[in-house]
């Protein structure tokens, strides 16, 4: 929506993160669904009382709704009183990362250990992302031997700051540069580079080891 302001985008993001309808949030915040829709779709600011009610309804803070945590790493608050760590099986790990989004690749680069964010898709059981042909990542992920791929790590996590919960999934596998002959296998994945630009080289990771952890309350 071209007219939506920063507050509107954050309201929509928080609502969708919780899986709530506009009507459900409006009821929790003691306002009409029509007014909530107006706030989501227009660059306007409600009064202080409405902001606090919206923050409570969306399990966040007014500070976060106004973008106060934009430049802060996630997980800034204290841990829950009695956290429990659960080991996730590979099937659950793949289910968690299946929507795609932003993950991190870790490998030994020309300048030492390197971790970089990538936009990814899980496509037919393999992880697909894009990078620039001839760029640093392209060069660092080439073994120099025909038919030999470099094994790398791929990580995705989700932090729920409001509930002090979260999960992390780690995948290890060989980073394979997709050739022109193999392009049909990944062309319909729909993955786009987060950083934009001319990143036309597809790289796929076939999971070889999958591990995950979830932190939650009792």
Longest dimension (CA), the chain: 64
As assigned by CATH, the class of the 84-216 domain is mainly beta
156: helix, coil or strand? Answer: strand
- Listed in sequence order, the residues at least 6 apart from 208 whose beta carbon sits closer than 8 Å to its beta carbon are 151, 172, 173, 174
What does the pLDDT read at residue 141? 93
For the chain, state the CA radius of gyration: 21
Query: What residue ranges do the domains of the chain occupy?
Result: 6-65, 84-216
Percent of the chain with pLDDT over 70: 90
pLDDT in tens, 158-211: 887 666 788 999 999 999 999 888 888 888 888 888 777 778 899 999 999 999
User: So what's the pLDDT on residue 69?
Assistant: 62
pLDDT of residue 117: 93
pTM: 0.70
On whether the 6-65 domain is CATH 3.40.50.2300, my answer is: no
- Averaged pLDDT in 10-residue chunks for the chain of 218 residues: 70 90 96 95 90 92 78 64 88 94 93 93 94 90 87 92 82 93 85 81 94 85
**E strand spans, 136-183:** 150-160, 165-177
Domains 6-65 and 84-216 share a fold: no
């Amino acid at each position: 929506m071209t007219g939506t302001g920063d507050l509107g985008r954050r309201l929509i993001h928080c609502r969708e993160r919780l899986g709530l309808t506009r009507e459900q949030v409006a009821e929790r915040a003691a306002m009409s669904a029509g007014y909530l829709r107006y706030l989501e779709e227009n660059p306007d600011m409600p009064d202080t009382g409405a902001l606090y009610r919206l923050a409570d309804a969306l399990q966040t803070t007014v500070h976060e709704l106004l973008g106060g945590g934009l430049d802060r790493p996630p997980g800034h608050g204290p841990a829950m009183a009695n956290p429990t760590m659960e080991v996730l099986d590979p099937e659950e790990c793949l289910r968690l990362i299946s929507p795609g989004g932003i993950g991190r690749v870790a490998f030994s680069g020309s300048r030492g250990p390197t971790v970089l964010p990538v936009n990814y898709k899980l496509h037919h059981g393999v992880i697909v992302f894009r990078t620039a042909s001839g760029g640093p990542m392209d060069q660092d992920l080439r073994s120099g031997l025909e038919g030999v791929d470099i094994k790398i790590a791929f990580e995705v996590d989700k932090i729920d700051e409001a509930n002090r919960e979260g999960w992390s999934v780690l995948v290890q596998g060989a980073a394979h540069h997709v050739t022109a002959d193999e392009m049909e296998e990944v062309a319909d994945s729909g993955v786009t580079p987060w950083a934009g630009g001319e990143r036309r080289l597809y790289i796929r990771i076939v999971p070889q080891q999958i591990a995950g952890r979830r932190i939650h309350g009792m």
